Chain A
Amino acid sequence: MSKIFKTITILAVVLLVSAFTANKVISDQKGYDIGDIATDFKLMNVDGKMVSMSDYKDAKGFIITFTCNTCPYAVLYEDRINELNKKYAAKGFPVIAIMPNNTDIMPGDSFEAMQKRAASKGFTFPYLLDEGQKIFPQYGATKTPHMYVLQKTDKGNVVKYIGAVDDNYKDASAVKEKYVENAVDALLKGEAIKETKTRAIGCTIKI
């Protein structure tokens, strides 16, 4: 009898441990690395229409930014993101912004608040709500703002750059390295990207 009990206990422990490890694998998921194929999405824009990358038939790639209303770093970069779209949409690399936060935790990032911000800042690019928070974990975005430059190929949209917009969050005029622009310029010229991954402080994505 005690043997059976022992076996059951061991089984239970094994089950518990494996359940834990399975969980761990999910939480340790790092998202995309350079060269991975990025998933497409179908998310609602502030104008009420659904947007996917596949809608952009003529695009050569995309500048994806995970951003929000409430993070002060994201706010500091709003104008620069707008400029990126103005400069690169015509060259085939439009900006698509995705708001990844849980809007229950961050009411300032609600769909209505996103609509207001997009209107007041005159966003020239779609500002999408990551409904259900399913897209940002696949990309591996951890913060706002978090940038991904993708290049459209026959195989799909390939991740070419992950990281910051540039090297100076507080003063656009003091920027020395425009990481995202450098990456897109290199892709347009068919050259190798010098810095494919950079880091910057940002606000944790609220789940």
Chain B
Amino acid sequence: MKYIMTLLILVLFSCQNDIKTKASLANETSNEEDFELEIYDFDGLEPFLTKKDNKTYVVNFWATWCAPCIKEMPHFEKLNTNYKHKNVEVLLVSLDFPFNYEKKLKPFIKKHKLQSKVIALDDPDMNTWIPKIDKNWDGTIPVTIIYNKSKRIFYNQTFTYNQLEEELQKFLN
């Protein structure tokens, strides 16, 4: 009897293992599949910066060529993981060059398995849209906006995870 039980448990376990392997395989394949990158000009981007619902939005402007942006990227990803169930949405707005979307941006998103929403801003008339995002922004990245329907702060700085969480808390209380 004992022998049969052990066998049964073994079979059950091996089954579970099998399922797990299949699931992770499926995941990997979907990661390798091509995905559509959402690309906007400034008029298309503006609604993402002015939502009036009950969420708090953390919008980071970055690019794959910008070293300090890449350095702080994991903090935004961690913030997204820790706060997405608390009415917070992280949005990563890429300023990569359109000719690098396929070569650099999409491979970066895939390689680092970015979980936050990534969109690309393609609007060469920077002198028009930069002051609309913030009058004090001179055009260097990274910059970040945290906003909800009642409050909005523009950050011309890089973040550690703790700094980012601390700033976000000001919007959640």
Asked if A and B are interacting partners, one says yes
Residues in A lying within 8 Å of B, measured CB to CB: 71-72, 76, 142-143, 163-164, 167-171, 174, 177, 179, 195, 198-204
Known: A142-B140, A143-B138, A204-B68. A199 touches B127 (CB 8 A): yes
B87 to chain A, nearest CB (A): 31
Whole-angstrom distance between the alpha carbons of A203 and B137 in the complex?
13
C-alpha spacing A195/B125, complex, angstroms: 14
Q: Find the A residue at minimum CB distance from B61.
A: A201
Tier of interface size on chain B = 10 to 19
Contact with A along B120-139 (1 / 0, CB 8 A): 00001111101100000111
- Would A200 and B141 count as touching, CB distance under 8 A? no
Give 8 new A-B contacts, CB below 8 A, not counting A179-B127, A203-B66: A71-B65, A167-B127, A169-B124, A170-B124, A171-B124, A199-B126, A200-B130, A201-B140
A203→B140 contact, CB < 8 A: yes
Q: Which of A76, A171, A179, A200 neighbours the largest number of chain B CB atoms within 10 Å of its CB?
A: A200
Q: Given A72-B97, A142-B140, A170-B97, A200–B127 Cβ distance below 8 Å? A: yes
Q: C-beta contact mask, B46-88 vs A, less than 8 Å → 1, else 0?
A: 0000000000000000000110100000000000000000000
Contacts of B126 in A (CB 8 A): 164, 167, 169, 199-201
Q: Which residue of chain A lies nearest to B137 when distances are taken between CB atoms in the complex?
A: A199
CB–CB A202/B98 < 8 A: no
Task: Given A170-B98, A201-B141, check contact A163 B127 (CB 8 Å).
Answer: yes
Please tell me if the beta carbons of A143 and B139 are within 8 angstroms of each other in the complex: yes
A sample of 15 inter-chain contacts (CB < 8 A) reads A72-B97, A167-B128, A169-B124, A169-B126, A170-B99, A198-B127, A199-B138, A200-B127, A200-B139, A201-B95, A201-B126, A201-B139, A202-B140, A203-B65, A204-B66
Give the CA-CA distance A203 to B66 in the complex, in Å. Answer: 7
Q: Chain A: which residue is nearest B64 at the CB level?
A: A72
In the bound complex, how far is the Cα of B125 from the Cα of A71, in angstroms?
Answer: 19
Q: How far, in angstroms, from A193 to B133 measured CA to CA in the complex?
A: 25
Contact residues in B for A163 (Cβ distance below 8 Å): 127
Least CB separation from B141: chain A residue: A201
Closest beta carbon of chain A to B111's beta carbon, Å:
19
User: Is the Cβ of A142 less than 8 Å from the Cβ of B138?
Assistant: yes
A89 to B26, CA, bound (A): 62
